[in-house]
Amino acid sequence: MIIESNLISATGYHAIIGKALDLQVKQYTELWNEVQEFGATTVGKCESDRWRLYFEKFGFRVDTSRLIITVLTCSFLEALANFYIASKTDADQFAVLEGASILEKWVTIPRFYNPRYELPKDEQLYQDLKLVITSRNAIAHPKPLVVVDGANVHKGNIPKKSADEHAFTLRSASLPMRLLKHLWKYDQSRETNLLIFSCGYDLMEFNAD
């Protein structure tokens, strides 16, 4: 797919990643509704039985869906950042910047083109971005927890958990839109508008904020 606007044209594969994320979120939401119905129908059972039945019926499916959302979210976030950076640079400049981390691409690099841009570390947006990247890295580069004779030989890197995994999963999936809206507050150039348009987002949603 080729996205064109005035003098700019670019491949739009990132939009396919975004659609895959949307589809996974839809499936996850349907699954979570089943979980909620299950909770309502098991009221009165002892807690240990409820947890056992939950894990037998949903545990693997819920964790799998959350894992996929985490990976797709980070893939989409990097694709969006790379599109933005590529639209602002020549080939040599992009070759240098593309090696930056996903976090750097959303926190630091936009300031090269918009000195007023900031993504404060004490805001929920930054904290969600940092945690989803940490979780994705643990998924992509898993290390086992190993205990020998009661002693921890390897501490492993099990993905960090949020206090509310369901809420965090939905916040993670919303990060691409939230970060684009944040970027657009500082940069409403044709390159940014093209990026938003290429994702199928409506600019009216950005103006409303």
List, as one string, the DSSP characters of 145-183. -EEETTEEEE---PPP--SSHHHHHHHHHTHHHHHHHHH
Measured CA to CA, the distance from residue 75 to residue 72 in angstroms comes to: 5
Distance CA 45, CA 51 (A): 10
Q: For position 73, what pLDDT does the model report?
A: 98
Which H or E run includes 9?
A: strand 8-11
CA angle 147/153/157 to nearest 5° reads: 85
Within-domain flag for 3: no
Q: pTM above the 0.95 mark?
A: no
Q: Which residues of 140-156 are buried (b: 16+ CB within 10 A; e: fewer)?
A: eeeeeeeeeeeeeeeee
Residue 54: its pLDDT value, please?
Answer: 80
**Residue span of the structural domain in which 91 resides:** 11-208
| Residue-level pLDDT at 209 | 62
* pLDDT for residue 36: 87
* CA distance linking residue 31 with residue 28, whole number of Å: 5
Asked if residue 179 belongs to a domain, the reply is: yes
Average pLDDT value for the chain: 87
Residue 42: what pLDDT?
79
pLDDT in the model for residue 10: 53
pLDDT of residue 208: 61
Does residue 109 belong to any structural domain of this protein?
yes
Q: How would residue 161 be classed by pLDDT, with cut points 50, 70 and 90?
A: low
Is 158 part of any domain?
Answer: yes
| CB proximity list for 38: less than 8 A, separation 6 or greater | 53, 54, 57, 58
Domains identified in the chain, total number: 1
What pLDDT sits at residue 159?
66
Least confident of 28-32, 61-65, 77-81, 196-200: 196-200
The answer to whether residue 57 sits within a structural domain is yes
Strand locations in 31-157 (E): 146-148, 151-154
Domain presence at residue 124? yes
- Within a domain: 1: no
The model's confidence at residue 45, banded by pLDDT at 50, 70 and 90, is confident
- Of the candidate ranges 49-58, 62-71, 90-99, 190-199, the one whose mean pLDDT is the lowest: 49-58
Q: Which helix (H) or strand (E) segment is 186 a member of?
A: helix 175-186
Read off the pLDDT of each residue in 63-78 and give the average, rounded to a whole number. Answer: 96
Task: Tell me if 181 is assigned to some domain.
Answer: yes
Q: Pick 151 or 98 by higher pLDDT.
A: 98
Q: Residue 154's beta-bridge partner residues?
A: 146
In sequence order, the 6+-apart residues with CB closer than 8 A to the CB of 27 are: 65
Could you tell me the pLDDT band of residue 205, with boundaries at 50, 70 and 90? confident
